[in-house]
Amino acid sequence: MLKIYHSTGTRGFRVIWVCEELSVPYEIAPVNFAPEYRATPEWRAVNPLGKVPVMTDGDMKMFESCAMMQYVLDRYGNGRLQPVADDPTYAHYLQWCWFAEATFARPLGEIVNHRREFKPELDAVVAEMKGRATACVAVLDTAVSDRPYLLGETISAADLSICYTLRGYRRMVTETLPANVQAYFDRVTALPSYERTVKADTETSERLKG
Ligand SMILES: N[C@@H](CCC(=O)N[C@@H](CS)C(=O)NCC(=O)O)C(=O)O
């Protein structure tokens, strides 16, 4: 069975969401997110960079959350939540999947890093990164201005991945989203699988305490 090493509120959320939406069995191994734990040889043996998430499937072990999503889709998705390679929407499916992590999540990650590591530089760097993330949201607002989902009428894993990043944007930059993005976010997070994912995510930290 898939095992997702996860800490509450972190990128394993998007992998759990895909599993929930596809009804693919998985288990969560809660990870103590404290830097001290992530620096231990025990955790470095699981992820040499000390980050989360990590996913295993039998002997296979991988990091990078979007790669995990793609693995779950290709291995267990039976064609659901993604277009086939000769579909006209395929290129944009790839684009939005990569955009979610490589472009949109990047400035959000820098806000977290700078707050933690470079407190005197906080204001200028954080303001710049908030601006970069907000520019991504403006691009999304245009993209969903004439369609319910990024690829058109059909929801895909790209929507789940983007909406995970939007959660971080709302937390770190502003709760107020442009109208089209707000409607889009509300639409995607109305999936029953979202509620189940929020529950699983919340319970992860509770399991560590208990
Ligand atoms: N691109 C990687 C990023 C992994 C990542 O930065 N994870 C964060 C939590 S969401 C983390 O472990 N941060 C701790 C650190 O960078 O020290 C992915 O998508 O899995």
- Write down all domains in the chain, each with its CATH number in brackets: 2-80+193-209 (3.40.30.10), 90-191 (1.20.1050.10)
Q: Which atom of ligand 1 is nearest to the CA of 63?
A: 20
Asked if residue 184 lies in contact with residue 11, where contact means CB atoms within 8 angstroms, the answer is no
Provide, rounded to the nearest whole percent, the portion of the chain with pLDDT above 90.
91
Q: Which atom of ligand 1 is nearest to the CA of 64?
A: 20
Question: CA–CA separation, 210 vs 199, rounded Å?
Answer: 16
Tell me the pLDDT band of 210, cut-offs 50, 70 and 90.
confident
Instruction: Show the ligand 1 pocket: residues with CB < 6 angstroms.
Output: 10-11, 51-53, 63-66, 101, 109
Question: CA–CA separation, 105 vs 145, rounded Å?
Answer: 21
Provide, rounded to the nearest whole percent, the portion of the chain with pLDDT above 70.
99
Asked if residue 56 lies in contact with residue 30, where contact means CB atoms within 8 angstroms, the answer is no
Contacts (Cβ under 8 Å, ≥6 apart) of 29 = 3, 4, 5, 6
Mean pLDDT of 126-149: 97
- What was the pLDDT predicted at 120? 65
Q: Which atom of ligand 1 is nearest to the CA of 53?
A: 20
11 Cα: distance to centroid of ligand 1 (angstroms): 7
Atom 12 (ligand 1) nearest CA: 51
What mean pLDDT is reported for the chain?
Answer: 96
Q: State pLDDT tens for residues 190-202.
A: 999 999 999 999 9
Atom 11 (ligand 1) nearest CA: 51
12 Cα: distance to centroid of ligand 1 (angstroms): 9
Q: Which atom of ligand 1 is nearest to the CA of 11?
A: 10
Q: State pLDDT tens for residues 4-15.
A: 999 999 999 999
- What was the pLDDT predicted at 121? 65
Q: Is the pLDDT of residue 174 over 70?
A: yes
